[in-house]
C-alpha cells in the first residue's frame, strides 16, 4: 500500500478508535455511578481508557509523520493555514484535559488509590468534553482539506518566469495553428478534438502563472514517466513555491482531489464544458475554493508546490488539458498538449492588443 494512503488510513482509524474509546470510558463511569454494585463497569472504563491511549499514540505519531514528512501536503501548507493552528489548539486542549484523568485512572489500576464517585463523575464529564473536541478537530481537518484557512498574505506573487526552464536546442517547433495541434492529438471515440475545439481553446485559455512567456518553454508532453511506463501528457511549469496559480479559463471547479502522484489537484471545466483543465502538485488551495465553485479566468485557485510525487526541491505546476465527452467524468478525456495552445493564445492576445493600440486615437 502507498505510504501516504497507509498513514492516512492509520490516522483515521486511530481517530475512530480513540473517539469510541473515550466515549466508552465515559459511559462505563456513568454506569458505575448509577449502579455501584456493577463491578464490571470500572473494568469497562479501564478497557475504554486503554483503547483511547493506544489510539491517541498512533494518532500523534501518524499526524507528526504526515506534517513533517510532507507525505500528503507540504509542511509549509500546514504552517500557512489558520485552521491548522485551530486544530492544534484543540489538540493541546485535549492533552491538557487528559492529564488528570490519565493519572487518576492509573492510580486506580495500580491500587494506589481507591475509585470514588466524585472523581468518576469528573472523568465522565471530561471524557464527553474530549469527545466534542475530537469532533471539532475532524471538522477543522475537513475545512483544511477543502482549502479553508490559507493566509493570502503568505502567497507572494513571485515572477514564475525566473525559474521556468529555458528552451532546449533540440526542442521541436511549436505548432500554433489549430490543424497542426489536432494532427498531433490522434482523437479516438467521442473525445474527438477538432480545429474548432482548438480555436475555442485559444480564445478561452490564458497562462496560469504570471510572468511566464510560453514561447520560452519546451513541451514535455510526450516524455515518458514512471520508468517509461506512462506518458507525461501535460506541461510542467517551474516556479517558486507558493507562486499563485490562476484559472487558465473561465468555468467551474469539477473536483478538488488528492492523489499519491499528483498531490493536491484541481480539476476544472472550461465555460464550454468541452475541456477539463487539471492543475497538480499544489502547495495549497485558494481560500474558499470548493467543488462546483464558478471560476473567472485569472482567478487564483491555488499555489505552486511539490505535493505528490514531485521532488521537494523542484516545485512546479503540472498543467494538463483534455477534451472530454462528459466533464462529469473529470478524470477521463483525450489529452492535448497545453503548450501549443498557450503559445497560440498568447500570440492571439498580443496581436489583438496591438491592433487595439493602433486603432486608438492619438492624444491631441
Q: H/E/C letters for each residue in 243-292?
A: CEEECCCCEEEEEEEEECCCEEEEEEEECCCCEEEEEEEEEEECCCCCCC
Q: Kind of pairing, strands 230-231 and 224-225?
A: antiparallel
Measured in whole angstroms, how far is the alpha carbon of residue 79 from the centre of its chain?
14
pLDDT at 195: 80
pLDDT at 69: 65
- Give the chain's residues under pLDDT 70: 1-5, 69-81, 144-192, 226-228, 352-364
pLDDT at 180: 53
pLDDT at 152: 43
- Cell matching residue 19: 473517539
Does pTM top 0.85 for this prediction?
Answer: no
pLDDT at 191: 56
pLDDT at 202: 85
Q: Per residue in 312-342, pLDDT tens?
A: 888 999 999 999 888 888 888 888 999 999 9
| C-beta separation of 279 from 208 below 8 A | yes
Residue 265: strand pairing partners: 257
Place of cell 492619438: 362
What is the rounded distance in angstroms from the CA atom of residue 139 to the CA atom of residue 217? Answer: 42
Half-sphere exposure of 290 (CA within 13 A, CB side): 7
What is the rounded distance in angstroms from the CA atom of residue 40 to the CA atom of residue 28? Answer: 9
pLDDT at 360: 64
pLDDT at 225: 72
| C-beta separation of 72 from 78 below 8 A | no
227 Cβ contact list (under 8 Å, min separation 6): none
First to last CA, the chain: 72
Amino acid at each position: 500500500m502507498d505510504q501516504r494512503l497507509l498513514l492516512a488510513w492509520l490516522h483515521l482509524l486511530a481517530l475512530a478508535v480513540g473517539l469510541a474509546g473515550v466515549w466508552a470510558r465515559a459511559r462505563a463511569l456513568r454506569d458505575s455511578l448509577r449502579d455501584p454494585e456493577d463491578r464490571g463497569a470500572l473494568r469497562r472504563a479501564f478497557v475504554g481508557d486503554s483503547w483511547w491511549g493506544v489510539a491517541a499514540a498512533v494518532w500523534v505519531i501518524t499526524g507528526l509523520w504526515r506534517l513533517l514528512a510532507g507525505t500528503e501536503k507540504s509542511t509549509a501548507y500546514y504552517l500557512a493555514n489558520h485552521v491548522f493552528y485551530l486544530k492544534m489548539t484543540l489538540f493541546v486542549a485535549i492533552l491538557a484535559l487528559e492529564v488528570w484523568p490519565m493519572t487518576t485512572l492509573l492510580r486506580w489500576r495500580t491500587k494506589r488509590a481507591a475509585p470514588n464517585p466524585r472523581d468518576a463523575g469528573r472523568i465522565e464529564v471530561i471524557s464527553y468534553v474530549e469527545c466534542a473536541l475530537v469532533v471539532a478537530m475532524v471538522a477543522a481537518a475537513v475545512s483544511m482539506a477543502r482549502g479553508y484557512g490559507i493566509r493570502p498574505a503568505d502567497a507572494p506573487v513571485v515572477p514564475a518566469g525566473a525559474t521556468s526552464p529555458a528552451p532546449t536546442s533540440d526542442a521541436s517547433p511549436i505548432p500554433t495553428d489549430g490543424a497542426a495541434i489536432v494532427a498531433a492529438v490522434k482523437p479516438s471515440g467521442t473525445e474527438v478534438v477538432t480545429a474548432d475545439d482548438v480555436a475555442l481553446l485559444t480564445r478561452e485559455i490564458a497562462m496560469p502563472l504570471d510572468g511566464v512567456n510560453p514561447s520560452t518553454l519546451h513541451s514535455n508532453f510526450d516524455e515518458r514517466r514512471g520508468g517509461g511506463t506512462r506518458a507525461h501528457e501535460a506541461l510542467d511549469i517551474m516556479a517558486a513555491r507558493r507562486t499563485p496559480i490562476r484559472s487558465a479559463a473561465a468555468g467551474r471547479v469539477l473536483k478538488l482531489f488528492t492523489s499519491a502522484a499528483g498531490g493536491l489537484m484541481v480539476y476544472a471545466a472550461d465555460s464550454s464544458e468541452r475541456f477539463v483543465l487539471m492543475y497538480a502538485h499544489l502547495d495549497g488551495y485558494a481560500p474558499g475554493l470548493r467543488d462546483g465553485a464558478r471560476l473567472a479566468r485569472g482567478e487564483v485557485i491555488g499555489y505552486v508546490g511539490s505535493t505528490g510525487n514531485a521532488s521537494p526541491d523542484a516545485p512546479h505546476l503540472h498543467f494538463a488539458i483534455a477534451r472530454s465527452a462528459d466533464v462529469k467524468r473529470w478524470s477521463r478525456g483525450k489529452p492535448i498538449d497545453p503548450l501549443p495552445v498557450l503559445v497560440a493564445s498568447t500570440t492571439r492576445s498580443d496581436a489583438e492588443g496591438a491592433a487595439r493600440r493602433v486603432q486608438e486615437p492619438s492624444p491631441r
